[in-house]
Structure 1
Amino acid sequence: MEARAILRNVPTSPQKMRLVADLIRGQRVSKALAILKFQPQAAAPILHKVLLSAVANWQQGNEETKIEDADLVVKTVFVDGGRMLKRLRPAPQGRAHRIRKRSNHITIIVDDLSEAGNDQ
């Protein structure tokens, strides 16, 4: 059984978040957590927290299985653009430049590797 966790309206640009999300896509959960722990980017702790939430959601649905016995893998990670706040910054000669403050939505899906292999 797969489980997912979604975090919406994270105040980081989707492009910066995707750089870190690409590192954990397809990895085992234990390795993905270790990767995120030592990444210097500001997006890494946010993805770490969402991944832990996805693992907790999986554990909630599979109470009979121990988390240590399960071979969890990060099946899917995607980062979609969220709402964009538009602000104005003063510019020379009475003009204004538009500043776009981007946000994103993160979705992480984890699955048991043994179950994922049976589906194919």
Structure 2
Amino acid sequence: MAAIGLQNQCVEGPVDHRVGVIFAHPGISAGAASLENQLVDECVSVATAAGHPLDDGEVAKVRAYVSQAGSIITTSMVREMENDSPIEADQIIGDMMRRASSFSLPAPILSTVHAHLKSYELRGSQRIAA
């Protein structure tokens, strides 16, 4: 779940956040694929350190799943953001970050995604307070 978070959360504006749309766009796909692969690597490292290693075939399936042009997948968090609803930044991405930290694993992409999600939450709380 965390592995798909990157392209769904780091794209701003009136953009279709489905994975297939993002990866079908020639101006975005190469950079998104590189970042997505780094995020998958971070998640796999955390899972392995936590005693849940994935074999190479499983990792290949995850990579294909989260980067397939034409795919219609998205996340519930995107739908929540599109509806200005609360999200689960700490429960999903934050949890992976905490686990990475507990194993002293670097997680710069997870940290970037988490920062973006927390800024969304801050914007939402400011709208409510106004």
When you count helix as a share of all residues, which structure comes out higher? 2
Structure-1-length-normalised TM-score: 0.33
Q: Which has the larger radius of gyration?
A: 1
Structure ranking higher on relative contact order (CA contacts 8 Å, 6+ apart): 1
When you count strand as a share of all residues, which structure comes out higher? 1
Structure-2-length-normalised TM-score: 0.31
